[in-house]
Amino acid sequence: MNEDNAALDIRFYAGYRGLEMPRAVIIGNKKYPIKEILCIQRIENHLTGERSEIFKCRLASAVRDKCCTVEIRILDHHRFEIKFLD
């Protein structure tokens, strides 16, 4: 499977409150540990009531020798979005 079509997943640190901080991004069968969380935002859509958390993170190694910074948006119902920033 090439990385363009690879499945995406996120591993979290599970503390006493369940899923909390992202610890790694998984692309296909390759794990990219998160080296540092740069910022966290919590957002609520007042029209729909949907809440999300946005984590801007630096990965420990680059994806395809290019991207080291990602933005992970955690949505309701165990959904997420990942943006590769650089």
Examine residue 22 and state whether it is found in any structural domain, yes or no.
Answer: yes
| Residue 55: other Cβ atoms inside 10 A | 20
Examine residue 2 and state whether it is found in any structural domain, yes or no.
Answer: no
Total of domains in the chain: 1
Examine residue 3 and state whether it is found in any structural domain, yes or no.
Answer: no
- Helix or strand (DSSP H, E) at 39: strand 30-44
Examine residue 1 and state whether it is found in any structural domain, yes or no.
Answer: no
The answer on pLDDT for 85 being more than 60 is yes
Examine residue 30 and state whether it is found in any structural domain, yes or no.
Answer: yes
Model pTM score: 0.79
Q: What is the mean pLDDT of residues 14-23?
A: 72
* Amino acid 37: pLDDT: 94
Its domain, for residue 69, covers 8-84
Digit-coded pLDDT (tens) for 46-74: 998 888 899 999 999 998 788 899 999 98
